Amino acid sequence: MFSVIIPAYNAEEFIETSVNSVLSQTYRDFELIIVDDGSQDGTYKKIAQYNDNRIKYVYQENGGVSSARNKGICTSNGEFICFLDSDDEWKENHLETLSNLIEKYENCGMYITGYDIRLHTGTIVHKSEQIFRCLDREDMKSDDAFSVLLKYGYFFNTN
* Percentage with pLDDT > 70 across the chain: 75
Torsion angle, alpha carbons of 21, 64, 81, 54, to 10: -50
CA distances for 45 relative to 5, 49, 68, 83, 114, angstroms: 18, 7, 19, 22, 32
What's the predicted TM-score (pTM) here? Answer: 0.81
pLDDT tens string 22-80: 999 999 999 999 999 999 999 999 999 999 999 999 999 999 999 999 999 999 999 99
Higher pLDDT, 120 or 37: 37
